[in-house]
């Protein structure tokens, strides 16, 4: 919605921790925060407020910047960039024109769902029961010419490169793989019986991955949008009605529940490619998609569930042509379930006895060799599900598409010197439709080529275009070109953090964009994000009053009586029901405002809670008790710093450069600190922030205990003072990435120079990570019975003797003989009897 919500805070906090850590480790870090915080024109918010979306967005960039800073998500090493900024759009328009020149842009006409009241194109999910999502009016089908990026030409590369994205979650890679949807098959031209076919239509080309089942064919079917169907409908009102019905069903019920399979018999007969005397009926069928394959199929009901469902409604039967292993072909019949697995080919003349792959190959070879009209009847074809990306939007918000339509010259790019094409400021939103299109003057311009009156393109780009390359622009937002040498230096992004909801669209579009920018010479990389992490959502309980209205957590008081949690209205004490835990949303009103929490607890507390409560990839349940726990830790750390100071006395340690001899107590403090430091490094590298904070708390506990055990005299011993001072600095340094404000205060209180944010990361002393002795758990037959502490270098025989003389071991052995003695050095001992 434009304002920062808890989901953003979690996202940015994670990135900020990694950035601060890497920076302390000596890396140059560019940590741009997501585009959505920087003013993706927020259509809904602007619509609700009846304000100019652009104005609203700019006002909010300033507010968001202040919010970010209040949370310690400082911008000192980020670059500021608004993706709706005219300069950003200028560069984006340049990219568009370069893509256009390179043949990566397409203009296609297709049927769209059109809301006649809102005067706008609807996405499939915006159509409910055949009605427009906002207007509630019946949706119309309309032909519209729109702009597309040719993503599908990169489908093979986008698929193949997924294997190399080894720092991406498998889940996202799999989702993209399915989305791209590669399949290998045959395109087969079926000749039509001339007596039944319309004039000039000699064949239908279908696509199949199951050429092995060709002898099980019972019919051909084409999509309602297939050219043949359109042509036949012109002279057949009944077919026309059927096609209209399919369109309505397709938009309405298709998305809600699986529609019944229906077909219209065209009367045309198609000839089987292996037998001229065998003809098949041709249907127009509602379940055949125009935008996959050739928009036409052959139907084999025995081995395809859809085809089987379909033939029931038109009275055809199913002949099995693949027999499952171990079944007698003579008795194998198809009931309500199609047989989809592998088997042996039957009822298929020359294919009989082959396996499925053998039969596919045989059919492909025979049909490739069979010629008609100088072309093979069939060609092997790899098909992709991935479609081109329609970027046209008939809306005000978004980057204008920089072309001009001229009656004489056709489509003419806007000259580079005239970029950016700016959006007009004087638009109105009081009427439906595209404000750019009905603006009185904006679109009327002379043709740049011939000077005659022409028309500006009034479509704007999908805002996903804005987010497809913002991370590249961040590397040098002031460059006069879309990119500069800085992009080569910084790209690809080492670590990208975002929600799983971007698994397909945003992440795939960005991958396409890098390839397109590479082809047009703007960048030298193919993949935008070498490391990807998908973080969980921030969720919260929901509260409902008797009348069904939702209440926000701020209006609710939680009481706990006898261990049962109850919710009441904070003011009226009206009892409320506690509902399910859901993603924070405005509609359920279960949001918590980050500003309120900052006001009460401070920014570091939010950050600590967000990072510590759950593993980052899982949802985090926002609960007040947990936040209070984080707040307690903030207080405890601050007190610990105060205690350290009083024990160390004024002025702190003064080792005089002599080699200190550490007493066991001092050594224990140092060991605890360096162990925690080593752990924190591993945890941050693996983005396991919850475990990281556990290790920090453990160290704080240890130091607190150590201090309370020391008496005044011992505490003043120089070795203890030095150890404590070192340990405290380590503690604060490792806390700094998570809780930067607190850490700076503590750093200063400890008398350290400069800022912890500018300090180098402490160095782990490896020698402190191992002990001279090691405590091994002792198992008897796999059950733990005792512990034994032995020198690290002790030999096996000595350990065995020591273990067998333990009372607990003797008791557990009950006088039985030792069968085997297992020693895993440094790990465990197991006595087998």
- Looking only at the bridges linking them, the beta strands covering 127-128 and 203-208 are unpaired
With tokens 């259509």, the residue in question is 43
CB of 429 to RNA, least distance (A): 31
CB of 562 to RNA, least distance (A): 9
The reply on whether position 827 binds RNA by CB under 7 A is yes
Cβ distance to RNA smaller for residue 385 or 506: 385
CB of 408 closer than 8 Å to CB of 450: yes
Strand, coil or helix: 57: helix
Q: Pick from 157, 781, 789, 805: which binds RNA (CB under 7 A)?
A: 781
Residues numbered 478-497 forming contacts with RNA, rule: CB under 7 A: none
CB of 307 closer than 8 Å to CB of 287: no
Q: Pick from 205, 245, 352, 698: which binds RNA (CB under 7 A)?
A: 698
Q: Which of 775, 768, 770 has its CA nearest to residue 670?
A: 768
Distance from first CA to last CA of the chain, Å, rounded?
67
User: Interacting stretch for RNA, rule CB under 7 A, among 8-16, 80-88, 422-430, 694-702?
Assistant: 694-702
Residues numbered 805-824 forming contacts with RNA, rule: CB under 7 A: 808, 811-812, 820, 822, 824
User: Interacting stretch for RNA, rule CB under 7 A, among 98-106, 327-335, 465-473, 703-711?
Assistant: 703-711
The reply on whether position 740 binds RNA by CB under 7 A is no
Element housing 179 (H / E): helix 170-180
The reply on whether position 784 binds RNA by CB under 7 A is yes
Cβ distance to RNA smaller for residue 207 or 474: 207
- Cα distance between residue 712 and residue 643, in whole Å: 12
Q: Pick from 48, 166, 705, 795: which binds RNA (CB under 7 A)?
A: 705
CB of 622 to RNA, least distance (A): 11
DSSP-H helix ranges across 549-623: 594-601, 603-612
CB of 769 to RNA, least distance (A): 12
Cβ distance to RNA smaller for residue 97 or 696: 696
Q: What token pair was written down for 671?
A: 């060991």
Cβ distance to RNA smaller for residue 698 or 745: 698
Cβ distance to RNA smaller for residue 110 or 259: 259
Q: Pick from 119, 135, 141, 183: which binds RNA (CB under 7 A)?
A: 183
Cβ distance to RNA smaller for residue 447 or 592: 592
The secondary structure of residue 215, as a DSSP letter, is: G
HSE toward the beta carbon, residue 548, CA cutoff 13 A: 0
Residues numbered 657-686 forming contacts with RNA, rule: CB under 7 A: none
- Cα distance between residue 802 and residue 796, in whole Å: 10
Q: Mask of contacts with RNA, 497-516, x by CB under 7 A?
A: ---x---x------------
Q: Pick from 189, 261, 456, 674: which binds RNA (CB under 7 A)?
A: 261
- Cα distance between residue 3 and residue 593, in whole Å: 10
Residues numbered 633-652 forming contacts with RNA, rule: CB under 7 A: 633, 635-636
Q: Which of 499, 512, 577 has its CA nearest to residue 538?
A: 499
Q: Pick from 632, 792, 810, 816: which binds RNA (CB under 7 A)?
A: 632
Cβ distance to RNA smaller for residue 517 or 739: 739
The secondary structure of residue 33, as a DSSP letter, is: P
Residues numbered 371-390 forming contacts with RNA, rule: CB under 7 A: 383, 385
With tokens 């209440």, the residue in question is 551
Cβ distance to RNA smaller for residue 555 or 619: 619
Cβ distance to RNA smaller for residue 56 or 622: 622
Residues numbered 212-241 forming contacts with RNA, rule: CB under 7 A: 223
CB of 693 closer than 8 Å to CB of 717: no
Count other C-beta atoms under 10 Å from residue 806's C-beta: 18
CB of 174 to RNA, least distance (A): 6
The reply on whether position 279 binds RNA by CB under 7 A is no
The reply on whether position 254 binds RNA by CB under 7 A is yes
Q: Pick from 21, 88, 96, 207: which binds RNA (CB under 7 A)?
A: 207
The reply on whether position 601 binds RNA by CB under 7 A is no
The secondary structure of residue 568, as a DSSP letter, is: E
Residues numbered 399-428 forming contacts with RNA, rule: CB under 7 A: none
CB of 447 to RNA, least distance (A): 40
Residues numbered 141-170 forming contacts with RNA, rule: CB under 7 A: 170
Residues numbered 329-368 forming contacts with RNA, rule: CB under 7 A: none
CB of 208 to RNA, least distance (A): 4
Residues numbered 543-572 forming contacts with RNA, rule: CB under 7 A: 560, 563
Cβ distance to RNA smaller for residue 79 or 248: 248
CB of 338 to RNA, least distance (A): 10
Backbone angles phi and psi of 196, in degrees to 5: -105, -20
CB of 335 closer than 8 Å to CB of 341: no
Residues numbered 302-331 forming contacts with RNA, rule: CB under 7 A: 304-306
CB of 788 to RNA, least distance (A): 11
The reply on whether position 58 binds RNA by CB under 7 A is no
Cβ distance to RNA smaller for residue 258 or 716: 258
- Cα distance between residue 292 and residue 208, in whole Å: 11
User: Interacting stretch for RNA, rule CB under 7 A, among 14-22, 25-33, 134-142, 247-255?
Assistant: 247-255
The reply on whether position 297 binds RNA by CB under 7 A is yes
Element housing 534 (H / E): strand 532-535
Backbone angles phi and psi of 338, in degrees to 5: -75, 150
The reply on whether position 792 binds RNA by CB under 7 A is no
The full 3-state SS of 112-146, as one line of letters, equals: EEEECCCCEEECHHHEECCEECCCCCECEEEEEEE
Backbone angles phi and psi of 752, in degrees to 5: -80, 145
Q: What token pair was written down for 143?
A: 């032909």
- Cα distance between residue 72 and residue 293, in whole Å: 53
Q: What token pair was written down for 182?
A: 């590669």
**Cα–chain center distance at 368:** 42
Residues numbered 609-628 forming contacts with RNA, rule: CB under 7 A: 612-615, 618-621, 623, 625-626, 628
CB of 779 to RNA, least distance (A): 6
CB of 509 to RNA, least distance (A): 15
Strand, coil or helix: 650: coil
HSE toward the beta carbon, residue 680, CA cutoff 13 A: 32
- Cα distance between residue 81 and residue 84, in whole Å: 9
Residues numbered 748-777 forming contacts with RNA, rule: CB under 7 A: 775, 777
CB of 733 closer than 8 Å to CB of 24: yes
With tokens 């039967």, the residue in question is 317
The secondary structure of residue 522, as a DSSP letter, is: S
User: Interacting stretch for RNA, rule CB under 7 A, among 91-99, 180-188, 597-605, 657-665?
Assistant: 180-188
**Cα–chain center distance at 713:** 58
CB of 564 to RNA, least distance (A): 11
Q: How many chain residues are in contact with RNA, going by CB under 7 A?
A: 85
The reply on whether position 130 binds RNA by CB under 7 A is no
- Cα distance between residue 6 and residue 28, in whole Å: 28
Q: Pick from 250, 281, 343, 400: which binds RNA (CB under 7 A)?
A: 250
User: Interacting stretch for RNA, rule CB under 7 A, among 61-69, 281-289, 354-362, 396-404?
Assistant: 281-289
Q: Which of 146, 129, 145 has its CA nearest to residue 137?
A: 129
Q: Pick from 130, 329, 629, 751: which binds RNA (CB under 7 A)?
A: 629
CB of 698 to RNA, least distance (A): 4
User: Interacting stretch for RNA, rule CB under 7 A, among 341-349, 584-592, 629-637, 791-799?
Assistant: 629-637
DSSP notation for 723-776: HHHHHHHHHHHHHTTT-HHHHHHHHHHTT-SS-GGGSPPPPP-GGGGS-SEEEE
CB of 398 closer than 8 Å to CB of 83: no
- Cα distance between residue 264 and residue 138, in whole Å: 25
């Amino acid at each position: 919605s434009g304002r920062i919500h808890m989901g953003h805070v979690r996202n940015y906090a994670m990135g900020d921790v990694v950035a601060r850590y890497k920076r302390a480790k000596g890396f140059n870090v560019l940590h741009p925060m997501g585009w959505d915080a920087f003013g993706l024109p927020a259509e809904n918010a602007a619509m609700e407020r009846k304000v100019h979306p652009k104005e609203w967005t700019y006002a909010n960039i300033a507010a968001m910047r202040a919010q970010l800073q209040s949370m310690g998500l400082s911008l000192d090493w980020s670059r500021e960039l608004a993706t709706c900024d005219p300069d950003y759009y200028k560069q984006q328009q340049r990219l568009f024109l370069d893509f256009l020149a390179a043949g990566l842009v397409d203009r296609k006409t297709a049927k769209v769902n059109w809301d006649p009241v809102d005067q706008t194109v609807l996405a499939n999910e915006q159509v409910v029961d055949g009605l427009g999502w906002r207007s509630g009016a019946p949706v119309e089908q309309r032909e519209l010419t729109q702009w597309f990026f040719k993503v599908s030409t990169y489908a093979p590369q986008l698929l193949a490169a997924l294997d190399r994205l080894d720092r991406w979650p498998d889940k996202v890679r799999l989702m993209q793989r399915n989305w791209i949807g590669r399949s290998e098959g045959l395109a087969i031209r079926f000749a039509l019986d001339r007596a039944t076919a319309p004039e000039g239509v000699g064949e239908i080309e279908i696509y199949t991955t199951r050429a092995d089942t060709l002898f099980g064919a019972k019919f051909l079917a084409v999509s309602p949008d297939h050219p043949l169907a359109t042509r036949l409908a012109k002279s057949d009102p009944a077919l026309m009605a059927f096609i209209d019905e399919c369109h309505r069903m397709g938009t309405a019920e298709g998305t809600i529940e699986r529609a019944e399979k229906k077909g219209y018999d065209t009367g045309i007969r198609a000839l089987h490619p292996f037998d001229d005397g065998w003809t098949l009926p041709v249907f127009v069928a509602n379940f055949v998609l125009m935008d996959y394959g050739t928009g036409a199929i052959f139907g084999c009901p025995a081995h395809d569930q859809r085809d089987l469902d379909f033939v029931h409604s038109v009275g055809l039967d199913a002949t099995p042509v693949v027999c499952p292993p171990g079944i007698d072909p003579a008795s194998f019949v198809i009931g309500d379930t199609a047989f989809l697995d592998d088997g042996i080919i039957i009822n298929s003349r020359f294919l009989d006895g082959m396996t499925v792959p053998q039969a596919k190959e045989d059919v492909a070879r025979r049909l490739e060799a069979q010629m008609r009209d100088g072309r093979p009847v069939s060609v092997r074809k790899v098909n992709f599900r991935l479609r081109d990306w329609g970027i046209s939007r008939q809306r005000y918000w978004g980057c204008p598409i920089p072309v001009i339509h001229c009656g004489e010259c056709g489509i003419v790019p806007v000259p580079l010197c005239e970029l950016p094409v700016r959006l007009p400021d004087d638009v109105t939103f009081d009427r439906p439709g595209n404000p750019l299109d009905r603006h009185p003057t904006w679109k009327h311009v002379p043709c740049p080529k011939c000077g005659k009156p022409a028309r500006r393109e009034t479509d704007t780009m999908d805002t996903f275009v804005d987010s497809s390359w913002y991370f590249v622009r961040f590397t040098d937002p002031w460059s006069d070109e879309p990119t500069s040498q800085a992009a080569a230096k910084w790209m690809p992004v080492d670590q990208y953090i975002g929600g799983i909801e971007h698994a397909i669209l945003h992440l795939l579009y960005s991958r396409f964009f890098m390839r397109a920018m590479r082809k047009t010479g703007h960048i030298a990389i193919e993949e935008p994000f070498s490391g990807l992490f998908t973080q969980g959502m921030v969720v919260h309980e929901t509260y409902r009053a008797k009348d069904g209205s939702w209440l926000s957590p701020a209006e609710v008081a939680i009481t706990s009586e006898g261990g049962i949690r109850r919710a009441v209205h904070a003011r009226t004490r009206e009892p409320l029901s506690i509902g399910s835990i859901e993603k924070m949303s405005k509609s359920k009103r279960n949001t918590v405002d980050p500003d309120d929490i900052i006001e009460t607890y401070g920014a570091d507390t939010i950050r600590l809670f967000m990072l510590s409560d759950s593993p980052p990839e899982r949802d985090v349940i926002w609960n007040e008790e947990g936040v209070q726990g984080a707040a307690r830790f903030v207080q405890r750390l601050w007190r610990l710093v105060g205690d350290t100071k009083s024990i160390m006395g004024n002025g702190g340690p003064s080792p005089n450069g002599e080699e200190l001899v550490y007493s066991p107590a001092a050594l224990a403090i140092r060991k605890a600190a360096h162990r925690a430091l080593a752990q924190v490094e591993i945890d941050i590298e693996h983005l396991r922030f919850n475990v990281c904070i556990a290790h920090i708390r453990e160290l704080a506990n240890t130091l607190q205990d150590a201090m309370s055990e020391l008496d005044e005299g011992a505490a003043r011993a120089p070795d203890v003072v030095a150890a404590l001072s070192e340990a405290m600095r380590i503690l604060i340094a490792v806390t700094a990435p998570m809780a930067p404000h607190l850490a700076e205060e503590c750093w200063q209180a400890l008398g350290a120079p400069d800022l912890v944010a500018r300090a180098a990361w402490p160095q782990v002393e490896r020698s402190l990570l191992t002990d001279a002795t090691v405590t091994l758990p002792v198992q008897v037959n796999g059950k733990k019975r005792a512990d034994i502490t032995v020198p690290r270098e002790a030999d096996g025989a000595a350990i065995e003797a020591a273990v067998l003389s333990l009372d607990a071991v003797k008791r557990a052995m009950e006088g039985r003989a030792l069968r085997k003695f297992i020693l895993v050095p440094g790990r465990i001992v197991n006595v087998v009897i």
